[in-house]
A = this chain, B = another copy of it.
Amino acid sequence: MAIVGWGGELAAEVEAQAEALGRAAVDAGFRVVCGGLGGVMAAACRGAASSEHYTEGDVIGLLPGPDKASANPWVDIVIPTDLGHARNLLVVATGDVVVAVGGGAGTLSELALAWQLGRPVVALAQAEGWGATLAGTSIDARRTDVVHPAADASDAARLAIDLLSAS
């Protein structure tokens, strides 16, 4: 599961949702892939590592820069792409499903690219930002589905599994 969202400081509520999402993803048998830095990325990685089903190697971080040390401490597999914002594309390409928690322009680019790549897309409807804005809508006419709105982290994990078994 690719988890995308704000990279900066988070409201406590959003941070809790991102952390719960990372945990729910690993609980549900997913690995977590993200941009490897802070904000939603760090919260989701921390959550993933706190799952009872976690094993080392479940958390993958695709960094924009060249320096492995800039990854958050919960990333197991650090890929220092040094591709700048082009790493956004690799994050969503690596996920079998993409889940957004809020998000600004970077997340918006990831949702748009995930849509282009045909990845199922889920967004936490309560988390504001571009995820919430797009939840329930269709990004363009090339696909007949929508950005699936999820009520909370465990709903998102459930949806992710359903979408993958349907595809």
Contact = CB atoms under 8 A, between A and B. Distances in A.
Identical copies in the complex? 4
Contact of A84 (B66, B78, B115): B66
Interface stretch (A16-24, A39-47, A86-94): A86-94
A55 interface: yes
A105 interface: yes
A28 B77 CA distance: 17
Interface in A83-125: 83-86, 88-90, 93-94, 104-106, 108-109, 112-113, 115-117
Given A57-B56, A58-B57, A89-B85, A105 B94 contact: no
Interface string A70-88: 0000001111111111101
Interface of A: 31, 55-58, 60, 62, 66, 76-86, 88-90, 93-94, 104-106, 108-109, 112-113, 115-117, 129-130, 139-142
16 contacts: A57-B58, A62-B79, A77-B77, A78-B94, A79-B90, A79-B93, A79-B94, A82-B83, A82-B89, A83-B90, A84-B84, A105-B139, A105-B142, A106-B116, A109-B109, A109-B116
